[in-house]
Amino acid sequence: MNRIDKSILITGASRGLGLALMNGLARRGARVVGVARHAAEMETVAEALRWEGLEAHALAYDVGDKEAIYPMVGAATALVGPLDVLVHNASTLGPTPLPLLLDTACEDLQRVLEVNVVGPFRLTKVVAGNMAVRGKGLVMHITSDAAVSAYPRWGAYGVSKAALEHLGRVWAAELEGTGVRFVSVDPGEMDTRMYRDAVPDGDYSQLSRPEAVAARLVEWVAWRSESVPSGARLEAAKLEAA
């Protein structure tokens, strides 16, 4: 089994796919820092991994808060050293039940964009420069099929994910040749609290489990992260399973 000897920061790591990624990467030897808004939830995740003898740390920050970005990166690098991988997983749907665009408040759209696009932009700005100086690094944007398909009532979220994907492509073009690579990953529909909030009357039995999706992404990071062009969009369902 290939060991992942990297320092990794994952946002939105206290539940869902972020939690599954933190568990999977830590168990493959990565030095992992998880970020979430709620300190108790995030610390519970990290403590469980430390009981297994793994290197896992918890930080409580809001990615949508401009003032949180520098303290977050400073704390993370103090714990695990310069970051090799940055996973932008934190995101918000906005109000639920999901409203039509005509019923979406401007302030709600602004909050979705702050968390899902502007936050990752600020965080990458702080991290990518150091990656470029060292000549290596991977920035992963967790996206959605809502970025490429127009679903009624998913407007704010879909717009934010479309912008996030294009942000990754622009970063890739501008940092080409530096060793810093970017990828957007569509995990597919998963049985998560976010999905249940968005689709309260859905059939969840056919959804993927976050742990299964994370296993594919962990294997990709371990073995094939340099096998696709920087700026590529990947679908987790098409990645080789662990």
Annotated catalytic residues are: 157, 161
Beta strands in the chain (DSSP E): 7-11, 31-36, 56-60, 85-88, 137-142, 180-186, 232-235
Q: Which two tokens stand for residue 2?
A: 């290939």
For 15, the 3-state DSSP assignment is: coil
Task: Indicate the SS3 state at residue 76.
Answer: helix
- 107-115: list long-range contacts, CB under 8 Å, 24+ apart: 108/156, 109/156, 109/159, 111/64, 112/156, 112/157, 112/159, 112/160, 113/156, 113/159, 113/160, 113/163, 114/64, 115/62, 115/63, 115/64, 115/90, 115/91, 115/160
Phi and psi at residue 208, to the nearest 5°: -70, 150
